[in-house]
Amino acid sequence: MKLKTLGMGVAALALAISGASFTAQPAFAAGKLTVSSPQDPGSWDPIDTFLVAWAAVSTNIFEGLTYRGPDLKLVPGLAESWEELDEGKRLRFTLRKDVKFHNGEPFNAAAVKFTFDRLLGEEGAKGPQRSNYIVIDSVEVIDDYTVDLKLKNPDPVLLTKLAGYGAMIVPPQYIAEKGEEFFNTNPVGTGPFKFVSYAPKASISLAANPDYWGGAPKLSELEYRFISEPATAVAELQFGRVDLVIPPTIPIGMIPTIESDNNLEIVSVPGPTVDALRFNTRDGITADPRVRKAIIMAVDRAAIVQSILAGQGAEIASFQSALSFGYDAELKPLPYDPEGARKLLQEAGVPEGATLQIDVRGNDATMNEVAQAISFYLQSIGLNVSVTPHETSTLINDIIPQGKTGAMFQQKWGGWTFDYDNTAYAMYHTGEKWNPYDKDETLDKLLESQRPMTDRAEREKVLKEIGAYVAGKALELPLYNTNAIYAINKRVKGFVPAPDTRLKLNEVTVE
């Protein structure tokens, strides 16, 4: 079986053919789909996470006012329509009628207000999502099915943000009755599948919502198993105990094994996910920008993409993909120049054999291979490098946010809005969860200045300036943008791969 690589136009066509739009379907559901996901997000509350692994599951449980499918087009979700008022400082949403949460309580304007008051209040302040929505000043209920978001200033990305993560609409009565902790592990939304059970670090089970406003799902059951080890996930796929393995599980080296099985296939689509090794700019030798630039120059990233990624990715100069608004095709990465790197280390007074540690996700087989290659490159310029794998949730929820990394640490980012702001603000603005080391007033001002801009060309110019500024400061070693690689059993029909791994599976069937 040959590798299928789908461009965005083909993905859009597949979406139309599969009928994955909001059209009513027969109230018949049969069959179970079992999905392997590499990570348990630990909480199912929309305001608690940034993880793609959360969205891969929760897109089937929760919904936002807007929806963005695999074709990346923004369409109505729980809102039938919207309009801009007051020169973009007020968004008025007309809501769908006769929509119910899985527990039976009605979806209405009060639920929308509760969701955003909660997100922007004390509960939201505990999680990583709040900063994406701070442009919202208040929420005003006009009537049961009309609600206004009053904005501090226009936000050109807000409608896209409303399609994911923290903006998912949650049930007020259920949370009031059951409490926040219970909601974390017993989610209730309005989506096509209902929560059934959750076994932490093992699985989550969902059942079809026959009363779904978009039509009953074609599947009766949907189970996600959390399998962090790629070899185990592939073995389960081969034995038929898993039907679909989602990104970023599949290492490049395992693609031939999957392709050789007549019952399986690989489906690959261009995606927004980028990988970098970010620097500890506060401590040790990497506090010196000359050392950071030397490290970047010592690594042949083009060779890594060619030899390790086997064409399933592209080299990047900034921490975003070519699909991202704000991407600058003219920005070039520092060249591969080992001799120049050695000179910079000498200028910085770094002794031969100086040590540094690279922290990576232990279940990311591709990155572990890349990190070993990088360690060899750095050893060639006189640095003594160790690669330390960590359990993914520990690395991203504790080690990075608390500023406890080594000299370099892996950052994998989905960039799900396909807008550089979503990545850059989270990575570089002072005080953000993913920025434990840097405080840069100039960069903060640049990041803040582009958010209210309604002139698309002017905003793009500032985003490109941010990319160039970060590259000039050498805040990270940009590596590559990878395709979203799915492995699937051929008995699964109607599957449309999502570039951002946010899979809505109500149109899928299993033979």
Q: Kindly report, residue by residue over 330-363, the tens digit of the pLDDT.
A: 999 999 999 999 999 999 999 999 999 999 999 8
Mean pLDDT value of segment 457-466: 97
Task: Decide: 273 and 415 in contact? Cβ < 8 Å.
Answer: yes
Task: Decide: 357 and 222 in contact? Cβ < 8 Å.
Answer: no
**Predicted confidence band of residue 24 (pLDDT cuts 50, 70, 90):** very low
CA distances to 31, 221, 302 from 509, in Å: 7, 10, 40
| 436 or 393, greater pLDDT | 436
Element (H, E) at 446: helix 441-450
Q: Whats the size of the chain, residue-wise?
A: 511
**Predicted confidence band of residue 441 (pLDDT cuts 50, 70, 90):** very high
CA distances to 131, 264, 396 from 393, in Å: 21, 30, 5
Which sign does the torsion angle of CA 439, 410, 72, 114 carry? negative
Query: Which 3-state string (H, E, C) describes 52-107?
Result: HHHHHHHCCCCCCCEEECCCCCEEECCEEEEEEEHHHCEEEEEECCCCECCCCCEC
CA angle 61, 65, 71 (to 5 degrees): 80
CA quadruple 276, 282, 286, 287: dihedral, nearest 10: 130
pTM of the model: 0.78
**Predicted confidence band of residue 13 (pLDDT cuts 50, 70, 90):** very low
Residues facing residue 106 across a β-bridge? 100
| Average per-residue pLDDT for the chain | 92
**Interval 265-291: pLDDT, tens:** 999 998 889 999 999 999 999 999 999
Q: What is the pLDDT of residue 9?
A: 36
Could you give the CA distance from residue 494 to residue 499 in angstroms, rounded to a whole number?
16
Could you give the CA distance from residue 95 to residue 93 in angstroms, rounded to a whole number?
6
Q: CATH number of 64-170: 3.40.710.10, 1.20.1730.10, 3.90.76.10, 3.10.450.240?
A: 3.90.76.10
**Interval 215-262: pLDDT, tens:** 999 999 999 999 999 999 999 999 999 999 999 899 888 999 999 999
Note whether 29-61+191-263+490-510 and 270-484 share their fold: no
| 131 or 143, greater pLDDT | 143
Q: CATH number of 270-484: 3.20.20.80, 3.30.360.10, 3.30.70.100, 3.10.105.10?
A: 3.10.105.10
- Collapsing DSSP to helix, strand or coil, 357 comes out as strand
Q: What is the pLDDT of residue 14?
A: 32
Terminal Cα-to-Cα distance of the chain (whole angstroms): 19
**Predicted confidence band of residue 6 (pLDDT cuts 50, 70, 90):** very low
Could you give the CA distance from residue 229 to residue 200 in angstroms, rounded to a whole number?
16
Q: How far is CA 96 from the centre of its chain?
A: 28
Task: Decide: 296 and 472 in contact? Cβ < 8 Å.
Answer: no
Residues facing residue 83 across a β-bridge? 92
Q: Is residue 128 scored above 60 in pLDDT? A: yes
Q: Which of 260, 219, 267, 222 is nearest to 246 (CA)?
A: 267
Could you give the CA distance from residue 316 to residue 301 in angstroms, rounded to a whole number?
9
Could you give the CA distance from residue 509 to residue 498 in angstroms, rounded to a whole number?
17
Q: Which residues contact 116 (CB under 8 A, 6 or more apart)?
A: 133, 136, 139, 149, 167
| 54 or 393, greater pLDDT | 54
Quote the tokens at residue 489: 């059993």
**Interval 37-57: pLDDT, tens:** 999 999 999 999 888 899 999
Could you give the CA distance from residue 322 to residue 242 in angstroms, rounded to a whole number?
32
The CATH architecture to which 29-61+191-263+490-510 belongs is: 3-Layer(aba) Sandwich (3.40)
Q: What is the pLDDT of residue 12?
A: 35
Task: Decide: 158 and 151 in contact? Cβ < 8 Å.
Answer: yes
- Collapsing DSSP to helix, strand or coil, 47 comes out as helix
Render the burial of 210-231: b for 16+ CB within 10 Å, e for the rest: eebbbbbbbbbbbbbbbbbebe
Q: Count of CB atoms within 10 A of residue 489's CB?
A: 21
Element (H, E) at 307: helix 301-307
CA distances to 155, 293, 398 from 316, in Å: 27, 15, 27
Could you give the CA distance from residue 309 to residue 133 in angstroms, rounded to a whole number?
35
Task: Decide: 124 and 118 in contact? Cβ < 8 Å.
Answer: yes
Quote the tokens at residue 248: 């970023």
Q: Is residue 27 scored above 80 in pLDDT? A: no
Q: Cis omega (within 30 of 0) on the bond before 248?
A: yes
Q: Is residue 190 scored above 60 in pLDDT? A: yes
Q: What is the pLDDT of residue 270?
A: 86
Q: Which of 334, 361, 340 is nearest to 479 (CA)?
A: 334
Task: Spell out the domain ranges in the chain.
Answer: 29-61+191-263+490-510, 64-170, 270-484
**Predicted confidence band of residue 29 (pLDDT cuts 50, 70, 90):** low
Could you give the CA distance from residue 166 to residue 54 in angstroms, rounded to a whole number?
11
**Predicted confidence band of residue 375 (pLDDT cuts 50, 70, 90):** very high
**Predicted confidence band of residue 169 (pLDDT cuts 50, 70, 90):** very high
Q: Is residue 2 scored above 60 in pLDDT? A: no
Q: Count of CB atoms within 10 A of residue 35's CB?
A: 24
Residue 177: how many CA atoms within 13 Å on its side-chain side?
8
Q: What is the pLDDT of residue 439?
A: 96
Out of 53-57, 370-374, 399-403, 416-420, least confident range: 416-420
Q: Which residues contact 346 (CB under 8 A, 6 or more apart)?
A: none
Q: Is residue 478 scored above 50 in pLDDT? A: yes
